[in-house]
Amino acid sequence: MLVVAVVAYGFLRSSAVEREASRWVRDFHETRMRSDARWPDWPLSYAGQQALIRRFTRPESPVAPVWDGARRLLPERIRAVVPRYPGARERAIVLGPVLIEIPKMPAVRQSLMEAALNPRGANRRFAVQFACMDWPVPVSLLPWLETLATDADPVIRSEVARALLGIPPGNAAVERLLAQLQSDQVAVVREAARSGYRSDATGERVPWPADDAPETK
């Protein structure tokens, strides 16, 4: 009963937009289980999409380890009905498929990139990945990619390198950033930036011309 009360309290104190986002996520998963439809038959507002992105990248709560630690001490029968605290991993499992399927309007892409800027945020790599997953990657995302290209986390820098390869050649700022990442101190970042393929204007993956190909040594 206590768990039910806590969940009910959290639902009641959440905003209308957050409740809309929660309902859409629930309907999304139910729709995918029942049919081949990609998403529910009612549209999620842009504010609702922003709420999903905020939830996806929200920093890990200090409550999570305390909750899960206390849950492990419960008798097995009780533990079976007490949910785990929805930490970053659980959010990725639930919201990842949703963010893959949501049409990437320019504002949604930018919201994902802005969320990734928070060094304390969760699932930052996936936020960049979802924003830049469809090639060609819009050059309008370049200001965020420039900032994230110097991020302390090499996983983020690697994802930025892959995103930059999705911008068609010819942009001097993109080529400068790729050259910077190709000489990164971390091998995984260098390898990501040295891919043999780029996006053309239509989003097709095309081999880098031999005379423009990066060093692979």
Q: 110 pLDDT exceeds 50?
A: yes
Q: 125 pLDDT exceeds 70?
A: yes
Taking all residues of the chain, what is their mean pLDDT, rounded to a whole number? 88
Q: Which residue has 């892959």 as its token pair?
A: 162
Q: Which stretches of 103-171 are DSSP H helices?
A: 106-116, 124-131, 142-148, 154-165
Using a pLDDT cut of 90, give the percent of the chain over it. 69
* Residues ≥6 apart with Cβ < 8 Å to 113: 127, 128, 131, 141, 144, 145, 148
- Indicate the length of the chain as a whole number: 217
Q: Could you tell me the CA-to-CA distances from 86 to 7, 12, 43, 120, 212 in Å, in that order?
A: 12, 18, 25, 17, 46
Least confident of 10-19, 71-80, 145-154: 10-19
Q: 134 pLDDT exceeds 80?
A: yes
From CA 189, how far away is CA 192, in angstroms rounded? 5
Taking only the tens place, the pLDDT of each residue in 149-206 is 999 999 999 999 999 999 999 999 999 999 999 999 999 999 999 998 999 999 999 9
Strand partners of residue 198: 206
Using a pLDDT cut of 70, give the percent of the chain over it. 90
Taking only the tens place, the pLDDT of each residue in 144-163 is 999 999 999 999 999 999 99
Strand partners of residue 197: 207
pTM (two decimals): 0.82
What's the start-to-end Cα distance of the chain, in Å? 62
Taking only the tens place, the pLDDT of each residue in 15-55 is 899 999 999 999 999 999 998 888 899 999 999 999 999 99
